[in-house]
Amino acid sequence: MQIILASASPRRKELLESLGLELKIRTPNIDEFRAHGESGSDYVLRMSREKAFAVLEQCPRPLSMPLLAADTTVVCGGEILEKPVDRADAARMLGLLRDREHYVYTGVCIIFANSEEIQNFVVESKVVFGQYSEHAIQTYIDSGEADDKAGAYGIQGKAAVFVKSVEGSYTNIVGLPLFECARALSII
């Protein structure tokens, strides 16, 4: 099966290719901003839809294959933690996440071929980080992994050592809830 992936994320690409999908990558060109008072789940739901429609405008119509867009964010204590603006911001985020629970939300928007029917949904996963030192935070930041990830960490990398427990979809935390996407695409 072929799909259009409206994302430049290498993690989403790898996850979808693990399902045997052939991808046509299109990068959406939109301003990503959170509206005042918008919750984490509402934000990723809206962003996934906006990304999908931005890429849809670049595609010949009718669509010959499904188009999938996604957006992920982290919420801790009511604060939305997007990608860090710099390494000091990454250190602040990792300090905030230490020894607490937080939630990872991924919004997914799928526009189906021909009918252009839309499915737009959010998946939530709960992550609990254990206790770790300032040195561990700095070592992780120095690795460069925190630079482009919501919440300043990638669970599939060196930050796995911070994780005490996970409830819900692991792949959602990586950046795309595979089970829910595969089910929506009728792969499983």
pLDDT for position 81: 96
Question: Which listed residue (71, 86, 99, 147) is catalytic?
Answer: 71
Q: How many domains does the chain have?
A: 1
Output the CA angle 84-162-9, nearest 5 degrees. Answer: 45
Q: How confident is the model at residue 36 (pLDDT cuts 50, 70, 90)?
A: confident
Q: Which residues have C-beta within 8 Å of that of residue 23, sequence separation ≥ 6?
A: 2, 3, 4, 5, 13, 16, 17
Q: How confident is the model at residue 188 (pLDDT cuts 50, 70, 90)?
A: confident
Tell me which amino acid residue 41 is.
S
pLDDT for position 44: 97
Quote the domain boundaries for residue 117. 2-184
The C-alpha atoms of residue 68 and residue 179 are separated, in whole angstroms, by 14
pLDDT for position 61: 87
Q: How confident is the model at residue 32 (pLDDT cuts 50, 70, 90)?
A: confident
Q: Alpha helix (H) ranges present in 59-154?
A: 87-97, 134-142
The C-alpha atoms of residue 182 and residue 188 are separated, in whole angstroms, by 6
pLDDT for position 140: 98
Active site residue 71: yes
Q: What are the pLDDT digits (tens) for 121-169? A: 999 999 999 999 999 999 999 999 999 899 999 999 999 999 999 999 9
State the chain's mean pLDDT as an integer. Answer: 95
Helix (H) or strand (E) holding 179: helix 178-184
pLDDT for position 34: 82
Q: Rounded mean pLDDT of 49-73?
A: 95
Q: What is the CA radius of gyration of the chain?
A: 17
- CATH at 54: 3.90.950.10
Single pTM value for the model: 0.94
Q: Is the peptide bond before 62 cis (omega within 30 degrees of 0)?
A: yes
